[in-house]
Structure 1
């Protein structure tokens, strides 16, 4: 069964992960985000609902 033979696929997987980790990822992390996160404004507590049957 070819699925049990990891000889070619394990090498391909390792090369792919090394390429991603050492070449692509630093380039992606060097970009600055365009939308800086903002602090969320303090929300006010909502008024309780007045039920007509109470």
Structure 2
């Protein structure tokens, strides 16, 4: 069964994973996020209870 032969595919997978983790990922992580969650202010909304007709 040829699909069980990991010879070319294992090397390709490992090289792609190493390329991503060592080269591409640090470049992507160096960008700053434009919408940081810490920039948002928390708003408190005043809610009123629902006027139930049967109470």
- Alignment root-mean-square deviation, CA: 1.5
Deviations 1:4-54 (A, max 9, x none): 111110010000000000000001111111223223414235211111122
**Superposition misfits of 4+ residues, deviation over 6 angstroms:** none
Unaligned runs of 5+ in 2: none
Distance 2:52 2:28 in 1: 54
Q: Which residue of 1 aligns with 2:53?
A: 52
Distance 1:30 1:18 in 2: 18
Q: Which residue of 1 aligns with 2:42?
A: 41
TM-score, with structure 1 as normaliser = 0.80
